[in-house]
Amino acid sequence: MEENIEKVVEEAALEAEGAQSSRALYEVKMKFLGRTGKVTALLKNMREIAAEARPAFGKRVNAVREKLEELFSRLEEKVKERELAARLKEEEIDVTLPGRHQRAGALHPVTRIKSELIEIFSGMGFEVFEGPEIESEYYNFTALNTPADHPARAMQDTFYITDEFLLRTQTSAGQIRLMEKKKPPIKMLSPGKVFRADDDATHSPMFHQMEGLVVDKHITLCDLQGMLDEFARKVFSETSKTRLRPSYFPFTEPSVEVDVSCAACGGKGCSLCKGTGWIEVLGAGMVNRHVLENCGIDPDEYSGFAFGMGIERIAMLKYGINHIRLFTENDVRFLKEFED
């Protein structure tokens, strides 16, 4: 019997020393000390032993169990230490490694100018209204005092979708949509994409406009110029001035072309302003009485002004961008220029 015990102890010690992980060690422990383990099994042989030898045998087996338990807890500690060290090594972080560079994106220049304009004009009480990009002829032309046979339709090379529907050529279409719904006083700002079959260094088939419309009692051309001066000072420079030149749009009367004093040379004349000291930035005018009538607004009681500017054009002037295609190429080297 004693031999048997020695064999079990030897076997247990050998297997326990060989266990490489705490899981393996636990399994060895269960194999010997568990409820169905080999040491426990020794006690089940009690019956085969003479009655007087039983107490001594029981004591012996218990001593062996205690010794093995001690061995297991010693090994357990060792294995755990080893495992912890291995884990720490694996998770080690070299704080001296150079960090990975995180590049943040930047707002597109068109988005920047658009937000800047909205901020400036909302400070003057304008509300933003956005019309649809696919328009009917009525909103894009007819209601804007441009009937079908009107020569001004040829001023803009329109993309037609059907006989009736087209890609809007101007955000002015939004003026009608708003005035049909809202009566004066009106102060509207309408940003959006517009489309024209046109393509060169300063024209693109799709570009953005910002439309402005003010309708109230006693609105005059002076109100328009005062507001445009404020816009030019905020967008270009503190000393910017505007000048109005006579022009023609079917939906405004009188109509004007608005120039801003050249911010590059301060008005002295340079290559940017082609020596004139002025740069054309937008079209504007007093809302034509037919347009007000078309929207059910009495032109004898109310008057208004409207303006429309190309957002890309403002961005090109402000940032010195020389080709309109740069806005849609999405070359990161170009976009990076606008990081804050």
Residue numbers at the binding site for ligand PHE (CB under 6 A) = 170, 172, 211, 249, 252, 283-285, 306-308
Q: Is the peptide bond before 205 cis (omega within 30 degrees of 0)?
A: no
Q: How far is CA 231 from the centre of its chain?
A: 27
Minimum distance from residue 247 beta carbon to ligand PHE (Å): 8
- If the CB atoms of residues 72 and 249 are measured against ligand PHE, the closer one turns out to be 249
**CA 329 to CA 30: how far, in whole Å?**
70
Number of other CB atoms surrounding residue 231 within 10 Å: 25
> CA 278, 283, 287: angle at the middle one, nearest 5?
140
205 residue type, one letter: P
Query: Using an 8 Å Cβ cutoff, are 295 and 143 in contact?
Result: yes
- If the CB atoms of residues 37 and 310 are measured against ligand PHE, the closer one turns out to be 310
Query: Using an 8 Å Cβ cutoff, are 260 and 236 in contact?
Result: yes
Q: Which residue is nearest to ligand PHE (CB)?
A: 308
- If the CB atoms of residues 37 and 304 are measured against ligand PHE, the closer one turns out to be 304
Radius of gyration of the chain (CA): 43
* Bridging pattern class, strands 186-195 and 242-249: unpaired
> CA 154, 157, 242: angle at the middle one, nearest 5?
85
Query: Using an 8 Å Cβ cutoff, are 250 and 308 in contact?
Result: no
- If the CB atoms of residues 137 and 211 are measured against ligand PHE, the closer one turns out to be 211
- If the CB atoms of residues 37 and 250 are measured against ligand PHE, the closer one turns out to be 250
- If the CB atoms of residues 116 and 257 are measured against ligand PHE, the closer one turns out to be 257
Residue 336 tokens, joined:
């990076």
Minimum distance from residue 266 beta carbon to ligand PHE (Å): 27
**CA 216 to CA 119: how far, in whole Å?**
22
- If the CB atoms of residues 109 and 285 are measured against ligand PHE, the closer one turns out to be 285
Helix and strand numbers, DSSP H then E, in the chain: 12, 9
Minimum distance from residue 166 beta carbon to ligand PHE (Å): 14
Minimum distance from residue 303 beta carbon to ligand PHE (Å): 14
- If the CB atoms of residues 37 and 283 are measured against ligand PHE, the closer one turns out to be 283
**CA 273 to CA 63: how far, in whole Å?**
105
